Amino acid sequence: MSQTNSEILRAEDLHTYYGKSHILQGVSLTVGEGELVTVLGRNGAGKTTTLRTLMGLTPARHGTINLFDRDITRWPPHKIAKLGVGYVPEGRKIFGHLTVHDNLRVPAARPGTWTLNTIYDLFPRLAERRSSKGANLSGGEQEMLAIARALLLNPKFLMLDEPSQGLAPVIVDEVMHTIRQMRDEGIAVLLIEQNAWLALGSADRAYVLGDGRIVDSDSAAAFLENKERVKALAGASLDPAGTQ
Ligand SMILES: Nc1ncnc2c1ncn2[C@@H]1O[C@H](COP(=O)(O)OP(=O)(O)O)[C@@H](O)[C@H]1O
Ligand SMILES: [Mg+2]
């Protein structure tokens, strides 16, 4: 648990709608400083909606969000990003018609450790492919590019939506390694995953989302001791073959 860490994010009783569909039905969660927290749940549970709500893209109708000791509940996404929040959306959303290099010049970079040079050091593959169009990259390279773009904001808090989706296991390992590296450098991470086994292997704590509600939460270690617990509650994927 995060008793020794101070909280950077506290979301309380979030209710989010798409039109009349009541999707998030009272989601509450916290992220501590330097913590890697995962939100698990099967397809359609509301994981993406949770991240979109936290990022201000699909604002909650009820509930509050505190980030870095500020009430950001009704803030627009660009203002939340400026506080130092990186967001890697589902499906990567890189610019296919732009080169790797131009994709990396898009964000309004905040000053800090992460610059084009340090990014290319971290991802040599991106450096090699700097003149290639985004659309011509492999799935793994596109995910690295999406993460690299978020890192250029020098975020204090990084949210990732299913970064493992559609990637070969060996590439997934690389992506997860990068995410742990971010956490080890002091960036708090909120990781959305359908593959519970994969996420629990790297996370400090986990929440399980089912039909728009948090139905379970504990340390990742406690979940790993009883895999049936996650499976039963969320129907989340627990496929060890897809991980190591
Ligand atoms: N733009 C949208 N309009 C209407 N319903 C949506 C929209 N996006 C998602 N939903 C619905 O909200 C629920 C939660 O979706 P989502 O947050 O994407 O789940 P997850 O990321 O866990 O798969 C699903 O039932 C989905 O069909
Ligand atoms: Mg999703």
**Cα separations in angstroms, 29 against 53, 56, 210, 236:** 12, 16, 14, 19
Distance 50 CA to ligand 1 centre (A): 10
Query: E-strand spans in the chain?
Result: 7-18, 21-32, 36-40, 62-67, 70-71, 85-88, 157-161, 188-193, 205-210, 213-219
Per-residue confidence of the chain (244 residues) as pLDDT tens digits?
444 569 999 999 999 999 999 999 999 999 999 999 999 998 899 999 999 999 999 999 999 999 999 999 999 999 999 999 999 998 878 899 999 999 998 666 778 888 899 889 888 999 999 999 999 999 888 988 998 898 888 899 999 999 888 888 888 888 898 899 889 989 999 999 888 888 999 999 999 999 999 999 999 999 999 877 767 655 555 554 444 3
Q: Which atom of ligand 1 is nearest to the CA of 58?
A: 1
Edge-to-edge order in the sheet of strand 21-32: 21-32, 7-18, 62-67, 70-71
Instruction: Write the residue with the smallest CA distance to atom 14 of ligand 1.
Output: 46
190 CA distance to ligand 2 middle (Å) = 14
Return d(Cα 28, Cα 21) in angstroms, integer.
19
Q: Considering only CA atoms, which of 95, 89, 70 is closest in space to residue 80?
A: 70
Closest Cα partner for 55 from 39, 43, 73? Answer: 73
Ligand 1 pocket: which residues have CB below 6 Å? 18, 21, 23, 41, 43-49
Size of the chain in residues: 244
What is the whole-number distance in angstroms between the Cα of residue 43 and the centre of ligand 1? 9
Atom of ligand 1 nearest to the CA of 43: 23
Q: Contact at 8 Å (CB) between 170 and 143?
A: no
Q: Rounded distance, CA 86 to CA 151, Å? A: 7
Look up residue 68 and give its DSSP letter.
T
Atom index in ligand 1 nearest the CA of residue 46 equals: 17
pTM of the model as a whole: 0.90
Q: Which residue ranges form the domains of the chain, and what is each CATH number?
A: 36-56+84-231 (3.40.50.300)
